[in-house]
Amino acid sequence: MIIPCIDLMDGKVVQLVQGREKALEGGTPLEMLERFTAFREIQVIDLDAAMGKGSNDELVELVASRAAARVGGGVRSGDRARRLIEQGAFRVIVGTAAFEPPVLEEIAAAVGPERLIIALDSKKGKVVVKGWQEATEFTAEEVIGRLEPYCSGFLCTYVDKEGMLRGTDLDWFRRLRAATKHELTAAGGITTLEEIRELSRLGIHAALGMSIYTGRLNLDELARMNH
């Protein structure tokens, strides 16, 4: 499955390079939803909430009420996760909180593991948290197995290539696929149809941002592949 991404910052749809530098702004969230109607699911990340710099709650709610959205960014309590589901989110994505066991347990209890996706974002080989601003000491392959009971899938971003349109690291995704039977979604630098096909062969979904927003990949073509 191909999942277009809507990343929100300062009330706008944006694309960042490696989670730091803003590369471009898209249309309004509703304009982007209109462009993405052919896709079964979309991914919405509140970057301000992820980085602890405020939130875009109204926009998140707007998008979640109109599409099957997996929503993340700053989900650090059971209440916040539950509220996102109540606002219409199809599933909730948890990153930083996944590495705080009591918080993760609280979130999984609040919405149920079947509605939870855990984000494993890797930079220079290590999982990064807090909006990719802080590195942990372990690799995604090391922790993925013990996080399985709390979720129904993993969103794995290869941050080193994020937003650079230079391809992703398929070997990393192969290693992750070997490490878990859970649903996997790949993100970070996916640039070509060949990469999407290879991920699909591995049974991995592709979350796309920069390659769509720059027109590198054609939405009509992607929609045809998605059926």
Band of the pLDDT at 33, cuts 50, 70, 90?
very high
Residue 56 CA from chain centroid, whole number: 16
Note the pLDDT of residue 133.
Answer: 75
- Give residue 134's pLDDT: 84
Catalytic residue among 57, 121, 160, 169: 121
Domains identified in the chain and CATH numbers? 2-226 (3.20.20.70)
Helix (H) or strand (E) holding 68: none
The band of 129, judged by pLDDT with boundaries at 50, 70 and 90, is: confident
CA 78 – CA 115 distance, rounded (Å) = 12
In sequence order, the 6+-apart residues with CB closer than 8 A to the CB of 32 are 4, 6, 13, 26
pLDDT per residue as tens digits for the range 143-156: 999 999 999 999 99
Alpha helices in the chain (DSSP H): 29-35, 47-50, 57-64, 78-86, 101-111, 140-147, 170-179, 193-201, 210-213, 219-226
Return the pLDDT at 168: 93
Give the pLDDT confidence score for residue 175 in this predicted structure.
96
pLDDT single digits (tens) 130-146: 777 788 899 999 999 99
Has 220 been annotated as catalytic? no
The pLDDT score that the predictor gives to residue 135 is 87
Which of these is catalytic: 7, 46, 79, 160? 7
Q: Catalytic: 169? A: no
Across 28-37, 81-90, 161-170, least confident range:
161-170
Q: Report whether pLDDT(77) > 80.
A: yes
Q: Is the pLDDT of residue 164 over 90?
A: no
Q: What is the largest CA-CA distance in the chain?
A: 43
| Per-residue pLDDT tens over the stretch 106-128 | 999 999 999 999 999 999 999 98
Name the residue with higher pLDDT: 227 or 127. 127
